[in-house]
Amino acid sequence: MPDVSAEPPTTAGPLAPRALADFTTLRLGGPAGQVRTAETAEQIVQMVRAAADADAPAMILAGGSNVVVADAGVPGQVVLIRSRGVEVVESTDTEVVVRVAAGEPWDEFVAATVDAGWSGVECLSGVPGSAGATPIQNVGAYGQEVAETIVGVEVYDRVDDTVRRMAPAECRFAYRTSLFKHSDRWVVLSVDFRLARSTASAPIRYAELARALAVEQGERVPLAEARAAVRALRAGKGMVLDPVDHDTWSVGSFFTNPVLDAAAAESLRTRAAGVGEPPAWPGPGGVVKVSAAWLIDKSGFAKGYGGRGGVAISGKHTLALTNRGQGSTTALLDLAREIRDGVHDRFGVTLHPEPVLVNCSL
């Protein structure tokens, strides 16, 4: 199987048809009618516009870390986003605004911010994929999410055939979603982040990370320490890409943590009697976010569950569904349905997938 942690050799322009498994962290996905590589924002726009003019809208694919592609693949054109570049566009004594090309590998960008003494995304270390994908699902982990630092998203609007920069309010950021997630109207070209000039991290919010750092929640630590601790925690859960570790052949968390209203949260507590209190985090308006991993485990789906059809739950984390090397998208989705339905039967809570499903569904 290919190592997608190392970039496969590509050049601008058309490529011979090939399996999209070559470009996804699951190592799953059938062939595309045509694969082209765009190395600049201008090339992205040109290729997407040309596909639309030919009445064959192109699928956009960057890091492939949050996408599940059908075994049948994609009949049309796929544009691989491989634009690179990080530029400071505003600077004061206390802050910088950094413009990041959509194809810039996310963890490389985070590493660069830590080295530069810019605080604000250090707890998102180790997240796979590209910078341009982060606003699409409002990437978040260990107490940070990109909506907190994004100040602009440059997009190509396929409907209006224009390029413009969208303000955060226009992006409709919410928990693991945005205006962009379920619409292909907008193609992200670059993202602007406002970061603090500081060698100390933002206040540590996440309890597990605070414990790993041996600090209290709300304390700050050196940026490099925060990054190292986050990467270690992620690696322990199989959430840092490793070409020889099948526990990392995934899209990370397959399901989002359910957000329940007060009545649904009380119903869950009643149905969970005897197996423990569901881990939960209160939110605005009386809603409660509960742990999908806990629900999965307590519904009888333990780490390593599956082992058929070449797919299984990760041996390190119950939220990751993995390709063990000989899997298929069909088998992966069958496992996801089994887990979703089992959790609903046990607790009355419906789990929703976090990745984008391409030419397939649950």
User: Which conformational region is residue 334 in: left (phi greater than 0), alpha (psi within -120 to 50 degrees), or beta?
Assistant: alpha
Residues annotated as catalytic are 176, 253, 354
pTM above 0.85? yes
**Residue-by-residue pLDDT tens, the chain, 362 positions:** 333 333 433 434 444 567 999 999 999 999 999 999 999 999 999 999 999 999 988 999 999 999 999 999 999 899 999 999 999 999 999 999 999 999 999 999 999 999 999 999 999 999 999 999 999 999 999 999 999 999 999 999 999 999 999 999 999 999 999 999 989 999 999 999 999 999 999 999 999 999 999 999 999 999 999 999 999 999 999 999 999 999 999 999 999 999 999 999 999 999 999 999 999 999 888 999 999 999 999 999 999 999 889 999 999 999 999 999 999 999 999 999 999 999 999 999 999 999 999 999 99
Alpha-carbon span 51 to 156, nearest angstrom: 14
In contact, 135 and 188? CB cutoff 8 Å: yes
Alpha-carbon span 1 to 271, nearest angstrom: 43
Q: Which residues pair with 97 in a beta bridge?
A: 90, 194
Place of tokens 């292909």: 184
In contact, 289 and 258? CB cutoff 8 Å: yes
Give the residue from 350, 351, 352, 347 showing the smallest Cα distance to 269: 347
Element (H, E) at 193: strand 186-197
The full DSSP string for 95-126 is EEEEEEETTSBHHHHHHHHHHHTEESSGGGTT
